[in-house]
Every structure is written in structure tokens, then in C-alpha cells.
Amino acid sequence: MTSAVAPSPLPVVMTLGDPAGVGPEVVARALAAHTPGPLPAPLIVGPMEALVQACNRLAIDLPLTRVSASNFASLPAGRLPIFDLGGPLPPLGEVSAEGGQLAIEAMDQAIALIKTGHASAIVTAPLSKEAVRLAGHDNFTGQTEYLAQATGTQQVRMLMASPTLKVVLVTTHHALAQVPSLIHTQGVFTTLEQTHAMLVQHGGIAHPRIAVCGLNCHPGEFGDEDAAQVTPAIEQAQEAGIDAYGPFSADALFPAVAQPRKPADHFDAVVAMYHDQGLIPVKLLGQGEVVNVTLGLPFIRTAPGHGTAYDLAGQCRADGTGMSAALALAEQWATPHPQVAPV
């Protein structure tokens, strides 16, 4: 007989994002509310002073200890390791090159920890695309795309998950006028494949049902993109054993999925064609509990479904619910499960 072999658990690494935004504050709130589980304590990456200041404002006492890659594994129990990026902090609530650069450096350090086998997942706090571009990263379009490029991943997808709705996007940060040219059968099929794999591997759903939005309102009545590109992808997915249905008009689909009244209305996830088509309903329904997940990467990446909120920075008003949900989901998906060793 074979025996169950469980890999050694690795911690999740959390970035502070742009320290001029609410990142340090929501990270502080999430860590204060964190319930230790089977994984080691989360690793934190960013300017330590930003997190210390956030904790002081919030009257939160975190057992932070500055570490390096060579000594954090031997940290005493009960301590929270932080890779301190140092550097002068940018002014709170302001878009700046300094804030953008610190956010990028935190992501780079987190990626390095993954690649060197020190961490199992990344939880990213919000950053500002404008700030990152001010720091000289002219082609930066988002953390999802940056992580894909840094890892050489060809196909990634954005999943936005709330307690009542999961939405995966075929396209992400593009001008609306460009979207029709970006919708093609292979791209929609890849999205369905990755959505199905996520629901099976991490959601524990043996036969997930996936609904697909049409690009156009009333698919089939307006434009030919749905018939030419979306429908063939759904048929290809069905042939591959994926329970995909559609294309549906988004305005009719989302209310039915959110409040299913009959078995045919029950879907485990929705594939949307573009950013606002999918994100408006999931954020409306999920409120502060929305988690952004990147599918397709060689590791798990989550983030709260909100931005830097510069207008709230330093005011102790930022809600840490989304960051707590992102940390909990990352740790849940990164927790190793026993596998059967070969005979």
C-alpha cells in the first residue's frame, strides 16, 4: 500500500502595496483579525515604517520582526516577519513616483520569495497604476499583467469572487472600443478551461456549471461576435466535458444567478467578456468581501477587490474585510493536502 505524503507548508506573502494609500491599514486590520491555521505566519513585504504607523493610528499591536530571506524561517513562534524595503515614505493620500516604486519593489520581492521556494501564495495590497507609471514603469497595466510577465505566464485571467458570485473575465484593462477585437474563440475557451479547473481543484465542485455572458446585449440580435466567437468556444468547452452554457444577455443572467429561482439558474461561476460587464455586479453584490484572484499563474495570488483609496489614507476608516477575505482564501487554497505517493 501507499502512504499519504503531505508537503511542508509554506507561508503566504503579503505586500503593503502603495504605502500612500490604504494598503498598510487594511493589512494591519487583516493581520490583527487573522486566525492562525496550518500554514506558518504570513510574510509581509513593504516599508516597515508604513505598517508601524498604520498600527499606531489603529491602536493595533502586531508582533513585527524585521527579517531577511536567510533568517525568517527560524523566527520564534508568535512573531510576524516583515521584509523591510525601507526608503522615505511618500505623503499619505498622494499619487507619487515614490509610492509606485515601493509598490513595485514589494511585488518583485514577493515574486522572488515564491521562485526561491520560501512562499506558497501572494496577497497583494492595492497600488496605483498612475503612481507606478510615474516611477518609470511606462507599460504597467495592472498587477495581474505584471505577475504574468514576471513569471512568463502566457494566459492569465482575473477572477473576482464574493460570497454569492464568482466572475471570470475574458479581457481586463482595455478601452471599451478595443474589446470586440480581443474576443476570440480560443480566448473564451481558455477562460472556460481555467474557470473549470479553479472550481474543481479549489472549490471542490466535481461538475461545476459555468454561465457565459454574450459580448452584445441580446446575443444573436446585435452584432455577429457572439455567434462567430463566443458560441463556438462554449461548444468546444462542452465537447471537453465542461458544463458551459450561453451566451446569455448579462442584464438577465446576473439577477438570475444572484437569486436563482430554479435549478437552471444555478451556476457556480460566470464568464464575462469585459471588465465592467463582470465587475459591476460582483462588487455590487459582494460589497467589501470581494477578492481578486489571478488564474493561470504557477502560484496562488489574491487581492482585495478595491483600490488604493487615497482619500481614506491615514483616516482609520478603511475597511479591512476585503484584505481579510483575500488572506483567508490564499491560505485556504495554498494549504497542502495529502497526496498518494507512487507505488
CB 307 within 8 A of CB 279: no
pLDDT tens digits, residue range 287-307? Answer: 888 999 999 999 999 999 889
Does the pLDDT of residue 342 top 60, yes or no?
no
Which pLDDT band, with edges at 50, 70 and 90, does 221 fall under? confident
Q: What is the mean pLDDT of residues 115-119?
A: 92
Question: 320 vs 220, which has greater pLDDT?
Answer: 320
The SS3 call for residue 97 is helix
| Coarse DSSP helix, strand, coil percentages of the chain, rounded to the nearest 5 percent | 40, 15, 40
Q: In 10 A of CB 151, how many CB atoms?
A: 17
- Report the chain's mean pLDDT, rounded to a whole number: 91
Domains of the chain: 1-153+297-343 (3.40.718.10), 157-296 (3.40.718.10)
**Grid coordinates of 255:** 439577477
The SS3 call for residue 210 is strand
CB 193 within 8 A of CB 237: yes
Q: What are the Cα distances from residue 107, in Å, to 54, 202, 249?
A: 20, 24, 37
Q: What is the mean pLDDT of residues 269-278?
A: 96
- pLDDT of 262 reads 86
User: Above pLDDT 70, what percent of the chain?
Assistant: 94
The CA distance from 343 to 332, in Å, is 29
CB 99 within 8 A of CB 90: yes
Which pLDDT band, with edges at 50, 70 and 90, does 264 fall under? confident
pLDDT tens digits, residue range 120-160? Answer: 999 999 999 999 999 999 989 889 889 999 999 989 999 99
